[in-house]
Amino acid sequence: MNEPRYSSYIAGQWVEGGGSHVDENPANLDAPVGHYGVLDAAAVGQAVDAAAAALPAWSLAAPQLRAEVLDFVGSEILARKEELGRLLAREEGKTLAESIGEAARAGQIFKFFAGEALRIPGEKLASTRPGVDVEVTREPVGVVGIIAPWNFPLAIPAWKIAPALAFGNTVVFKPAEIVPGCAWALAEILSRAGLPEGVFNMVLGSGRTVGQALVAHPKLDALTFTGSVPTGRALLEQAAGRALKVQMEMGGKNPLVVLADADLDQAVECAVNGAFFSTGQRCTASSRLIVEAAVYDRFVVKMQARMAQLRVGDPLDPQVHIGPVASQAQLDTDLGYIRAGHEDGAELLAGGGRVDCPTRGHFLAPTLFAARASDRISREEIFGPVAALLRAADYEHALALANDTEFGLCAGICTTSLRHATHFKRHAQAGMVMVNLPTAGVDPHVPFGGRKASSYGPREQGRYAVEFYTTVKTAYTSA
Ligand code: TXE
């Protein structure tokens, strides 16, 4: 076995962990990316203890030092974006172009928060009492636990780790099981960035053992989680029981409305990109396409023609548009939902099964069903390249369908009507709204997050990240 072995990082030391678990390549199961060892609860405890011990000094460290550390990390990620993108493509399965783009985004996020480390906001106000000043300042929240999913294995950790460190917190980062290579690569860069030992720790292992040990540790002050609704809800209950500060990003069932007055070619591009790129494994994926009856048939014909051009296969092949599904478990989920689509009486319009490729991998055809709003494929997050197409009588019906979901992450509309675009922006029950753009694909310097079952707690990213990663102090001074 010549592949690399990935280890955890605790208190400035690499920690092997037990066993030799396979880091799979979902496009070629016969050529694994590497191997990794997993930690037990005691080792996770050491990581949290190390983060707690490092907190007093780091929370008071010069903001300039924090800025320099984050700038170093951002610069190195940007300089190595092709190499890191290649690792990401092999480990998670999104195409090389998408993977390099994600690596670049991770680098930009570290650079953004390098600047924010020098811009920690505060306020000075007059008191209601004469001769008294009031200052409102922000301090680090403490030891932050980061639990991340596999679908953006560089960008999501970056948008949690960078603000945590920028605002003076210490970190224990638990990546998803199937992406230890990207987590190790990030940790390796951070290990050379000039951080005092214990400020950043990375722990590999299962959610049940390592994740649970992290969340249950009494020295943890805050938890930021991105993942599924059931796991998020369970963690939320645990966190509430011990008054932990929490931020949760969970699933989506994002609608893309296409009105009769839309530029139909543009709408088809938005739908194909939003529903199927990154193999549909984005929380902002357009998994419900809601099309006004007057253009429904034309939209179907154009979608089928466009989908016939999509090539599924090796993510490192520049001719390929859609890489494999990330894991066997996710593939089983996707195939289960395709069966559910048939069982509920939805009409298959494209795809619907696995794709044969020269290597043994989790390849699945992008799949489109004409469905009803009550079908399981229209209501539940699938997290694969499977979309439900719904027919709407008119704009009002389309808006009602768009909002008829427990989720509320992102909502999109394709229209040339200013009136409808404006109305939709105001009335879509979502944290993010897109007009004539795919629902997936957001900027890193503005808030990211949703409503309803999709999110809980303060927003992530941009200047709004300061809400979660700091706590406010109000000080009164009399001369
Ligand atoms: O998610 P989990 P998984 C959805 C998507 C996908 C499904 C399963 O529908 O099919 O979730 O993916 C850690 N205590 N999304 O299994 O289980 C886990 O180790 C502490 C949507 O990856 O939520 C991983 O690091 N931690 C989503 C992280 O939680 C625990 C992105 C997420 O795992 C834990 C990802 C526990 N008890 C998945 N159990 C989106 N919409 O962005 C698990 N973990």
**What domains does the chain contain, in order, with CATH numbers?**
5-250+454-478 (3.40.605.10), 255-435 (3.40.309.10)
Q: Is 176 in the pocket of ligand 1 (CB under 6 A)?
A: yes
Q: Is 231 in the pocket of ligand 1 (CB under 6 A)?
A: yes
Pocket test for ligand 1, best of 231, 325, 382 (most atoms within 8 A of CB): 231
| CA 128 to ligand 1 center in whole angstroms | 48
Q: Is 149 in the pocket of ligand 1 (CB under 6 A)?
A: yes
Residue 42 tokens read as 């005691």
Question: Strand, coil or helix: what is 369?
Answer: strand
pTM, 2 dp: 0.98
- Quick one: pLDDT at residue 2? 77
- Quick one: pLDDT at residue 334? 98
Q: Is 333 in the pocket of ligand 1 (CB under 6 A)?
A: yes
What residues does 408 pair with on adjacent strands? 451
The residue whose C-alpha atom lies closest to atom 16 belonging to ligand 1 is: 228
Q: 39: how many CB neighbours lie within 10 A of its CB?
A: 25
Q: Phi/psi class of residue 286: alpha, beta or left (left: φ > 0; alpha: ψ in -120 to 50)?
A: beta
The residue whose C-alpha atom lies closest to atom 9 belonging to ligand 1 is: 383
Pocket test for ligand 1, best of 102, 147, 235, 337 (most atoms within 8 A of CB): 147
139 belongs to the catalytic site = no
453 Cβ partners below 8 Å, 6+ apart?
229, 250, 251, 406, 407, 408
Q: Phi/psi class of residue 368: alpha, beta or left (left: φ > 0; alpha: ψ in -120 to 50)?
A: beta
- Quick one: pLDDT at residue 479? 81
**Cα separations in angstroms, 235 against 47, 178, 238, 313:** 19, 20, 5, 36
- Quick one: pLDDT at residue 200? 99
Q: What is the pLDDT of residues 449-464, one digit of tens each?
A: 999 999 999 999 999 9
- Residues 157 and 150: their CA atoms lie apart, in Å, by 10
| CA 79 to ligand 1 center in whole angstroms | 30
- Residues 315 and 325: their CA atoms lie apart, in Å, by 11
The answer to whether the CB of 353 falls within 8 A of the CB of 338 is yes
Determine which one of 91, 249, 380, 460 is catalytic.
249
Stretches where the chain sits below pLDDT 50 are none
Q: Is 252 in the pocket of ligand 1 (CB under 6 A)?
A: yes
| CA 291 to ligand 1 center in whole angstroms | 31
Q: Is 227 in the pocket of ligand 1 (CB under 6 A)?
A: yes
Q: Is 283 in the pocket of ligand 1 (CB under 6 A)?
A: yes
Pocket test for ligand 1, best of 151, 206, 228, 455 (most atoms within 8 A of CB): 228
CA-based max dimension of the chain: 79
- Residues 157 and 79: their CA atoms lie apart, in Å, by 18
DSSP 8-state symbol, 5: E
Atom of ligand 1 nearest to the CA of 231: 23
Q: What is the pLDDT of residues 90-146, one digit of tens each?
A: 999 999 999 999 999 999 999 999 999 999 999 999 999 999 999 999 999 999 999
| CA 383 to ligand 1 center in whole angstroms | 11
**Cα separations in angstroms, 295 against 289, 302, 393, 468:** 13, 11, 10, 44
| CA 268 to ligand 1 center in whole angstroms | 30
The answer to whether the CB of 349 falls within 8 A of the CB of 387 is no
- Quick one: pLDDT at residue 1? 54
The candidate with the shortest Cα–Cα distance to 35, out of 91, 82, 89, is: 91
Q: Is 178 in the pocket of ligand 1 (CB under 6 A)?
A: no
Q: Is 212 in the pocket of ligand 1 (CB under 6 A)?
A: yes
Q: 61: how many CB neighbours lie within 10 A of its CB?
A: 18
Angle at alpha carbon of residue 217, lines to 213 and 220, rounded to 5°: 120
